[in-house]
Amino acid sequence: MDYGKLAKEILELVGGKGNVKSVVHCITRLRFKLKDESKANTEALNNLDGVVTVRQSGGQYQVVIGNHVPDVYKAVVSEGGFDSASPVDEDEEKGSIFNRFIDMIAGIFTPILGVLAASGMIKGFNALFVELGWMDNTGGTYQILNATGDALFYFLPILLGYTAMKKFGGTPFLGIVIAMALVYPALVAVPAAGEPLYMLFAGTMFESPVYIEFLGIPVILMTYSMSVIPIIIAAIFAAKVEKFLAKVTPAMVKMFVVPMFTLIVIVPLTFIVIGPIATWASQLLGQGTVLIYDLSPVIAGAIVGGFWLVFVMFGLHWGLVPIGMNNLATIGNMPILSMMFAHSFALAAAILAVFIRTKNQKTKSLSMPAFISALFGVTEPALYGIALPLKKPFIFTIISSAIGGGILGYFGTTAWILGGMGIFQFPSFIHPEEGLNTAFTGSIVAVVVSSILAFVLTYFFGGFGKEQTEETPNNKVIKSEEIVSPIKGHIISLSEVSDQVFASESVGKGIAILPTEGKVFAPVNGVVTTLFKTKHAIGITSENGGEILIHVGFDTVQLDGEHFTSHIKQGDVIKVGDLLLDFDIEMIKEAGYEVITPIIITNYGNYTNLVTTTAKDVNVKENLVTLLGESVSDVIPVDQ
């Protein structure tokens, strides 16, 4: 795959480099923050080779790539000239508080996700090898591997200090130094070196010993290794202090004065105020989630397990990540995040059933790599490529995952480390003292039950009958049909238009018309599947399965609907010749935009051939495009 070409096309379709505020990636997705999401061509991206699907959630424009996302991300960063994990421009931040929170958590944790999982896997396998008797936990091999896996978690605030400061627009190395101060060995050792000077908040739930003071102010020393919330809050304040100092400090001394005073302000402030309050809040959050879990582990497991794939679809799973990390730091394990464990195996089993039963070669070719990815915890290819388009495998996966989550709750299965995903997550359930206990057995039972259930339901009730022998991803038999012209005007070859996205046929194949009349009529009998809010583009699915995009002009999205009048709404059933849209040709031209209108068949790959008219001019309802299906002789004429 040419990642450079794909990156260029993606950037064009998200509205250009100038429309990108930031871009990061997780295991399968490019996560864009766009200045104006309406400028992105979601439909074109969904049909772009190399893109699985597009999701808009949590204030992010998410382009799902699959396993190749790190390579595509590098190409996007290179092509766009971006700084990896670019900070969000606070002046342009939009959206609800919840969306901002999801975006913040994703931006902070995604850069370290890979090494975080890797460290957890090393710790998990180290514990497994000891439990199996392959290694002595007093030996040098164990100690070195344990240090390798444990180092990231012990010094986690340092990594989060870097990513959080970068996310909030501060200098990342300042975040590192603040975090280093929090885990500085000499300060960590102070409580063990002597008696406290006095007790603060004596007699309350916040009673704390005071060992040292800063300028006469009592300092409550907390344990910040493995902590999450204190350093993130400290980074928020640090970024603001640094920006303020940068504005008021003379340029000749800014290089060292700004970081010096930022540290002098933030480090003591963190030890005296931010750290203790954030730590107490972390402890309350940890105990609160455990209380909810303890009320009914089975119900909690069924809810988390059943809805996890839905959370992933909308990016909402990031809201649970800090809870899991915080639980690990405050109570030593992660009961809530553990409840979703069975979902990837249930999905893999459903996809395996699809692979065995389907006779559609395209679906079959996609199923096996998606099945393998799901086993290793990477679910997006299976979710977006197979389960959602076929619907029933998705429903059966949710049911099976909910039952698996309930089983995990019943057995009290919980992760003691943040390990890998999929099959690599098993070692994280090994109890640090009890080893392979009943709770660990519960993880195996949950996976087996949910996998068998998902496989059986999909295999027998997935709808794999005669009707699917020649199915398309939309489950419709593609027949040949005729598309008539929706517009009166002059014919232009698609390769000759100025917009390279259409000219390169990356959106689909078709033809273009220079309108002589500002009206758009229905070219087929079908349904309006997409009507852009700017009214400049209409997506139609014909009753025979053809998917047609009518795009009036280039960059006309920037008119925000001005000079366009819609006569239909999304979801309307239409007949050939129905008036869909009026547009003012002269006013659009005066605004500086072309009115050349491409008529694109976005699912042209489902046909054996596509034939366009050879005429120079065309009237409404005259033949424009002929789509050839199973045979040339079965062309279905439109009702004119």
Residues acting as catalytic residues: 26, 551
Q: Strand 547-551 and strand 537-542: pairing?
A: antiparallel
Give the DSSP letter of residue 273: I
Three-state SS letters, 46-113: HCCCCCCEEEEECCEEEEECCCCHHHHHHHHHHHHCCCCCCCCCHHHCCCCHHHHHHHHHHHHHHHHH
Structure tokens at 226: 């493995």
User: Could you give the dihedral angle defined by the CA atoms of residues 485, 490, 491 and 495, in that order, rounded to the nearest 10 degrees?
Assistant: -130
- Residue 471: count other Cβ atoms within 10 Å of its Cβ: 20
Rounded Cα–Cα distance for residues 547 and 601 (Å): 6
Q: First and final CA of the chain: distance in angstroms?
A: 44
C-alpha closest to that of 266 among 243, 293, 241, 229? 241
Amino acid 288 reads: G
User: Could you give the dihedral angle defined by the CA atoms of residues 295, 301, 306 and 310, in that order, rounded to the nearest 10 degrees?
Assistant: 80
* Residue 394 CA, distance from chain mean position: 18
State whether residue 16 is helix, strand or coil: coil
Q: What residues are paired with 550 via a beta bridge?
A: 538, 599
Cβ neighbourhood burial of 71 (10 Å; 0-12, 13-18, 19+)? middle
CA distances, 563 to each of 259, 514, 560 (Å): 52, 17, 9
Phi/psi of residue 55, nearest 5 degrees: -130, 135
Rounded Cα–Cα distance for residues 224 and 209 (Å): 16
Sheet of strand 53-57: strand arrangement: 20-25, 29-34, 60-64, 53-57
CA distances, 12 to each of 19, 20, 30, 149, 173 (Å): 10, 10, 14, 41, 33
State whether residue 560 is helix, strand or coil: coil
Rounded Cα–Cα distance for residues 534 and 552 (Å): 11
- Residue 171: count other Cβ atoms within 10 Å of its Cβ: 18
Phi/psi of residue 550, nearest 5 degrees: -110, 115
DSSP string, 587-618: HHHHTT----EEEEETTGGGSSEEEE---SEE
CA distances, 93 to each of 15, 40, 108, 185, 563 (Å): 18, 18, 16, 38, 29
